[in-house]
Amino acid sequence: MTVRPHAEVVAALDAAFGAVPRPTEIDSCPCCLRPEEAAVLLSTPRRQLRADDLVSYGVNVMDTVGSAEDFRYFAPRLLELSLVIDGMDWPDLEVTFIKLARADWQSWPEAAILAELMDALWADILTQDPSWLDVGALLCALGSAQPSITQRLHAWSALDNAASIANLHDFVTTQTDIRKGRLVPRNAYWDSTSATFAELSSWLSDGPATAAVQAAIASQTSEQVLAQLADIHIRLLQARSDTNRSPESQET
């Protein structure tokens, strides 16, 4: 399946949500969204909203501000600003994706383009080494918004180019912890009781990632790439060797 570049999908978000009406009011706690902030949101065309206009709303929506209905209207702009350079620093991408799940985005008429966006972002992890996109943040975001990430991890297991290996190296060596013999993501936004968290931990800890790395070592010739694969392999083996260590001596 051909996946459009993520920038093209991001640029198409506003039009895809064009039929969603602008809310006429936003029910909110005035301490969490000041009346003047709400007024800007309600009077400004969505595509003209700036990052600063959406911060309070994006952080608090469906808690003390707004609802799933008005979030559907603002979601494309929140996503757009979160996925462009010099766009939105807060709320983090993971927060917006967690909100998507709470709003049941898969039931929206616009679900197809959101799914395409998620595919496009993951394609970057498999084919590029982009400094603007943090692999651990994206994994958590996707794991928060979707019921399963098994197919994404299966695709990553191919490790058939330098970018996918570099991104796995970054994630495994700098963004994981070892807990009771399991390699788990460090990102605090993860719900450790979720099915996707379990899928990722199983992939890292129960053999699939190790097998993928061993196969890549056998096929690679670049010394730099082989060094990254060796680092990943060592980290994966560390988790297994850690099974019998006491909890007090384990990494946190």
The DSSP call for residue 43 is H
- Domain assignment of residue 101, given as a range: 1-129
Question: Average pLDDT, whole number, for the chain?
Answer: 93
Give pTM, 2 decimals.
0.92
* Residue 244 pLDDT exceeds 90: no
CB 199 within 8 A of CB 150: yes
pLDDT at residue 130 in the model:
62
* Residue 173 pLDDT exceeds 90: yes
What's the rounded Cα separation, in Å, for the pair 77 and 14? 7
Nearest one of 250, 241, 12 to 114, comparing CA atoms: 12
Structure tokens at 21: 């009406």
Give percent above pLDDT 90 in the chain.
87
User: Which one has a higher pLDDT value, 141 or 89?
Assistant: 141
151 shares its domain with 125: no
Q: Using 50, 70 and 90 to split pLDDT, how confident is the model at 3?
A: confident
Q: Using 50, 70 and 90 to split pLDDT, how confident is the model at 240?
A: confident
Q: What is the mean pLDDT of residues 146-172?
A: 97
CB 98 within 8 A of CB 137: no
- What's the number of domains the chain is made of? 2
Do the domain assignments include residue 54?
yes
109 shares its domain with 158: no
123 shares its domain with 161: no
pLDDT at residue 14 in the model:
97
Residue 224 has a CB neighbour count (10 Å cut-off) of: 11
Of 81-95, 146-160, 167-181, minimum mean pLDDT range? 81-95
| Residue-wise burial string across 64-99, b where 16 or more C-beta atoms lie within 10 A, e elsewhere | ebbebebbbbbbbbbbbbbbeeeebeebbbbbbbbb
170 shares its domain with 70: no
CB within 8 Å of 56: residues ≥ 6 apart: 32, 33, 34, 37, 65
82 shares its domain with 174: no
- 4-49 per-position pLDDT tens digit: 999 999 999 999 999 999 999 999 999 999 999 999 999 999 999 9
Structure tokens at 78: 């929140």
Q: What is the mean pLDDT of residues 77-103?
A: 92
